[in-house]
Amino acid sequence: MNVERDRKIAVCINSIPIGNVASYGQIASLAGIKRGHRVIAMFLRTQTIEPDLPWYRVLRADGKIAMEPDSQGFITQSKQLAAEGVLVKSGKVDLAKYQWQPDMDFFLFHPDL
C-alpha cells in the first residue's frame, strides 16, 4: 500500500466533474504514475479510503466500461453515468464529447500532483 500514491489517485478521480469521464491512463498521468493504468484499476478494485469516490467516471482508453456487460458493476456504472448525463451506448462513452480536460485551476489547486 502506497498512501501518498493512493491519495494522488483519489484527488484526481474526485476532480473529474459531473458529466465527464477520464481514462485509467489519464488518471495515472495526472497522478504522476508512468504507464500506470493498471495501478489505477487495482486501486479502484481495492480502495477503501473513500467510499464516495466517483469510480464510475473512470473508463478504458477507448471509452469502454472495463467490466463484463452482464456484471453488476457494469450495470451500476452505466446507470451512474447516465444519471449524470453521460450517454453510454453499447458499454461505450464518446470520449470526444465527455472526456475531462483539466484546466489550469486543477493544476494550480493541486501543485503536489
Contact by Cβ (8 Å): 113, 32: yes
Residue 55 placed within a domain:
yes
CA torsion, points 95, 96, 102, 104, in degrees to nearest 10?
Answer: 170
What total of structural domains would you count in the chain? 1
Residues 65, 92 contacting (CB under 8 angstroms): yes
- The CATH number covering residue 53 comes to 1.10.10.10
pLDDT higher than 80, residue 15: yes
Residue-wise pLDDT for 68-89, tens only, equals 999 999 999 999 999 999 999 9
In a domain, 47, yes or no: yes
Cβ-contact 6, 47 below 8 angstroms: yes
Whether 36 contacts 28, CB under 8 Å: yes
Does residue 33 contact residue 5 with C-beta atoms inside 8 Å? yes
**Res 112: pLDDT:** 78
pLDDT tens by residue, 24-69: 999 999 999 988 999 999 999 998 778 899 999 999 999 999 999 9
Residue span of the structural domain in which 58 resides: 3-106
Q: Are 11 and 33 in contact (CB under 8 A)?
A: no
Signed CA dihedral, 102, 92, 78, 45: sign only: negative
